[in-house]
Amino acid sequence: MSPHRRTLTAALALVALTVALPHCAREVMLDAAPADDGGANVLLPKGDASLGDTDAGLITYCASNKCPAGFTTCSTSRFPCDVNLRADRQNCGECGHACPAATGREAYECVDGKCVLQCSAIAPTFDCDGLPDNGCETDPGSNDHCTACGDTCPDPDKPCVSTSSEGSYQCGCPPDLLNCPGTFPSCIDPTNDDRNCGACNNMCDRMGDGGAPLANAYYGCVANQCGRMKCNANYGNCDGDASNGCEAQLVTSENCGACGRTCSPGMECRVNLKGQAECMCPTGLTYCPQTCFGGVCYGGCYDISSDKLNCGACGFNCSFGAEPYSTSYCSYGICNKRCNKGRADCNRNPADDCEVDTDSDPRNCGGCGKVCDAVDGQACVGGQCVVEPCEQGSDAGEVAR
């Protein structure tokens, strides 16, 4: 340890690390707020000592280049002690021990220095055999593992079935729905399903009896029977005359999604992202089309003053070209970015994003310009300069300026 050291004295009994040292020696009592010394951060080590403990001795702390427990310096390190062996996926438990790469079925995270398998929740998968080597080997939807590992469907009349296009499963279809294996979802309503009308695989002929086609209509399944007139999406038979088909477009202020449904003042009839017409976008929200097909646009309502995918105008995406160390956001219709935790933009140059690692950089430890003791090689861990108890007999009272 160099004689040119900065020290911190505290009324404590136990050793602790991760504090930022002030620029001169001073005594800081436990539970007392340190005085402002021009920006230096002081975090008192935690231990068993207290203000009322007369046996607690005064311990002097000095700058340290030793890594706290769980941290180390690897060959790929930029700074001393910048690797957290408990959580670093590339150095999990030891330097160079990388967790397996993520796939669409599973990912591995470093937890307490061990690579831990985590199955996907987006497209659900399960690790039912408990063997990490084959990952998340099980999909939902079987009679042995319907919605989770061990969720069985023992009744042969109620097998595991899909109940929605989003991938929901359960044992047996809900009442009034029919299980048609091979379809997705497999639970269908036979009263109006054009492909399974009244029974599985009974597909209706859209041309009916082969007569002249009707305007904006086709022949399909109604009340378990094929050959009934049905309107194309967003059209309706509002005059009740089947001879002229579905003559009314249901994307108007007078007929929005249904015959005779009108929109309130300030609302407009639009087609949502599900392809259904509805009265949309109250005051303060803007309709932004996402895609257009056949003269019909599909979209939703957004607050363009704060929506980062439609910032200031429809389709203006703040996330385009997003940087790895910052998060974009929209404020008052203008795209901005904020640095992620442990990062900072110290040079005020947006071209290199939040270029400084304030968790590990001893020249910017916890913030821009907060410098650890370079003479002693003091490490920065978690945004704080590391200290340790001074060696016995060292001249801890001497302060170098």
CA distance 268 to 10: 68
> How far out from the chain centre does Cα 253 lie?
38
Q: 9: which strand partners?
A: 27, 60
CA distance 217 to 220: 9
Name residues whose C-beta falls within 8 Å of residue 215's C-beta, 6 or more positions apart in sequence. 244, 245, 246, 247
Cis ω before 174 (30° cut-off from 0): no
For the ranges 20-29, 200-209, 356-365, the one whose mean pLDDT is highest: 356-365
Region 110-130 average pLDDT: 93
Name the DSSP letter for residue 219: E
Please give the pLDDT value at position 393: 59
Please give the pLDDT value at position 395: 54
For 275-312, how does the pLDDT look when each residue is reduced to its tens digit (9 = 90+)?
999 999 999 999 999 999 878 899 999 999 999 999 99
Please give the pLDDT value at position 319: 82
Which backbone phi and psi does 226 adopt, to 5 degrees? -80, 170
For 145-164, how does the pLDDT look when each residue is reduced to its tens digit (9 = 90+)?
999 999 999 999 999 999 98
Residue 211: pLDDT above 90?
no
| 3-class DSSP state of 171 | strand
| 3-class DSSP state of 178 | strand
Q: List the structure tokens of 356.
A: 């400084």
184, amino acid identity: F
CA distance 123 to 315: 28
Is there a contact between 11 and 29 (Cβ–Cβ < 8 Å)? yes
CA distance 359 to 341: 9
User: Sign of dihedral through CA atoms 153, 156, 157, 161?
Assistant: positive
For 53-62, how does the pLDDT look when each residue is reduced to its tens digit (9 = 90+)?
334 457 889 9
| 3-class DSSP state of 28 | strand
Is there a contact between 61 and 376 (Cβ–Cβ < 8 Å)? no
